[in-house]
Amino acid sequence: MSDDGDDVRDMLEEIREAVDDDADLEPTPPREAFDLWLQQLDRAESTIESYQYRVRPFLEFCDANGIETLDQLTTRTVKEFEAERRGDLQKQTLNNQFGTIRQFLEYCHDLEAVTEDVVRAINVPELTKEDRVNTEKLIAERAKPTLENLEKYRYASRDHVLFLLLWRTTARIGTLHSLDLKDVYVDEEDRERLRVELAEGGHSPDAVEQILEEAELPFIFPRNRADQGTNLKNRDDGERVINIADHVAEIVQDYIEVNRYEVTDDEGRHPLFTTRKGSGRLARSTMRNWIYILTQPCEFGGECPHDRDPETCEAREHGKGSKCPSSRSPHKIRTGSITWHRDNGWPVADLADKADTGEDLIKGVYDQPEALVRGAARRHHLDKLDETDE
C-alpha cells in the first residue's frame, strides 16, 4: 500500500513541477523570439534565408490559431501543426523543416518561453540514405546539348556563362553570385595582380608563392566578402582556386568584353554577373530562375515530354520556371556535375576541395552514378590485375 502511495505522490509532484514550469514561462511573441534566434546565429545569408522559409509556416500557424505568445503553445497544438504539414510535404522536406523548427523551439526553451514537452512534441522524421539522396540531378546527357545550344545561339551571354560555370566548376549558385571581375584570372597579368593582393592581405612571401604555384591559369578564385554584401556558404573556408579549362576561360573573357554590363553594385564592387536594374549585381533569385528556364526541354525548340503547349504553359511565365517537371534547380546541376566529374575519374578528395564540401557528402549525397557508366570507368583496372600474374 505504501508503494502505491509513493507512486501517487511522485505523480502529483511531476504534475506540480509541470504546472510550476508553465507558471515560470516568459510570455514571448513567436516572431519576436524568431528574430532573436536569427540574430544570434552565425550562419551564411543563404542559410538564414532557408531558416526563414522553413519556420514561416509555423509562425503563420501561430497567427492563424491566435497564439500571441509562445507560452500558449501546448503539445496538442504542436501536434496539430505537425499533422497539417505532414499531409503536404515529402519526407526530406519535412526533415529539413521540422528539424529547423525544433532548433528554434530549443532556443525558445532556453529563453524560458516554452516547456521542454513542447520542444519534444515536434517529431523530426529520420531519413535513410535513400531518403537523403535526391536523384533528380541534371544528367550529363542533358547538360551537353544545353551547352551546345547556348554556344550556338547565345554565345558568351550571361545565361551561357552562368550555366557553363555551374556545370564545369560544381559551384553553388551563391558562389557565382559573389564573384567579382577581379576573381577571374586568365593571364599572367592577372597572376601578378593576385600576387599583390595576397601580399597586401597579409600573406607571408612563402604562402604567396605556394598559392601561386598551385594556381595554374586560368582559374576563378571566389572570396568571402560578408562585410561587402556577399558571402560564401562556408565563409573564409570556402575560398579556393577553381581551375577552368582554356575554352571555358575564353568564353568567360568574351562575355566580359562584349556582353557584360559595365556597372558597379551598391558596395562599389564590379560583379561578374551584372544587371542594369537594382543593385547592379544579378540577384540569386534571377540566376535560379534562368537555370529553371534553361533546363526546360522546350527552351531550344525541343518537344515537351509533358504534352504541354509552350505558348500557354504556366512554366514559361516570368518567375515560374520551376513549374516544369523537367526543369532543374542550380543544386541539381551541382549534383549532376559532381557525378559527371566522378564518372570521368576525379578522386573524391580533389572533387571535395573543388566543390567546397565534405568527402562523405560527395560519396553519400552528391555522387549519383549510373551503374553501367561507373562500371565501364573501372574496367581499365583489370589490366593491373593481369600484370601482377606475369
Q: What is the pLDDT of residue 1?
A: 46
pLDDT tens-place string over residues 88-132 = 677 778 888 999 999 999 999 999 999 999 999 999 988 765 555
- One-character DSSP codes across 63-105: HHTT--SGGG--HHHHHHHHHHHHTTS-HHHHHHHHHHHHHHH
Share of the chain above pLDDT 90, in %: 63
Do 286 and 329 have their domain in common? yes
Beta strands across the sheet bearing 219-220: 184-185, 219-220, 242-243
Lowest-confidence range among 14-23, 297-306, 307-316? 14-23
Least trusted range by pLDDT, from 5-14, 29-38, 153-162, 294-303: 5-14
171-213 per-position pLDDT tens digit: 999 999 999 999 999 998 998 998 898 899 888 999 888 878 7
Q: Write out the residue range of the structural domain in which residue 114 sits.
A: 17-132
Q: Does the predicted TM-score (pTM) go above 0.75?
A: no
Q: Which three cell numbers stand for residue 317?
A: 511565365
Domain boundary among 71, 105, 132: 132
Of 195, 249, 240, 247, the residue nearest 218 (C-alpha) = 249
pLDDT of residue 242: 94
**Final residue of a structural domain among 96, 116, 132:** 132
Q: Is the pLDDT of residue 7 over 90?
A: no
Dihedral (Cα; 286, 288, 289, 290), 10-degree rounding = 90
Task: Classify burial at 208, counting beta carbons within 10 Å of its beta carbon; exposed 0-12, middle 13-18, buried 19 or more.
Answer: middle
**Integer Cα distance of 283 and 54 in angstroms:** 21
Of 80-94, 101-115, 240-254, 275-289, where does mean pLDDT reach its minimum? 80-94
**pLDDT exceeds cutoff 70 at 158:** yes
The proportion of the chain whose per-residue pLDDT surpasses 70, expressed as a percent, equals: 85
Last residue of a domain, one of 132, 153, 172: 132
How far apart (Å, rounded) are the C-alpha atoms in residues 233 and 356?
9
Residue 381 belongs to a domain = no
Q: Is residue 99 part of a domain?
A: yes
Convert the pLDDT of each residue in 47-78 to its tens digit.
788 899 899 999 999 999 999 999 999 999 99
Alpha-carbon distance of 331 to 170, in angstroms, equals 9
pLDDT band of 215, cuts 50, 70, 90:
confident
Q: 30 and 176 share a domain? A: no
CATH number at residue 175: 1.10.443.10
Same domain, 155 and 279: yes
Q: Are 273 and 281 in contact (CB under 8 A)?
A: yes
Q: How far is CA 33 from CA 21, 67, 73, 176, in A?
A: 19, 13, 13, 33
Query: Does 225 lie in the same domain as 91?
Result: no
Neighbours of 324 (CB within 10 A): 24
Is residue 214 domain-shared with residue 261, that is, in the same domain? Answer: yes
Residue 207 lies in a domain: yes
Residues 46-78: b if buried by 16+ CB within 10 A, e if exposed: beeeebeebbebbbebbeeeebebbbebbeebb
**Domain count across the chain:** 2
Q: Is residue 385's pLDDT more than 70?
A: no
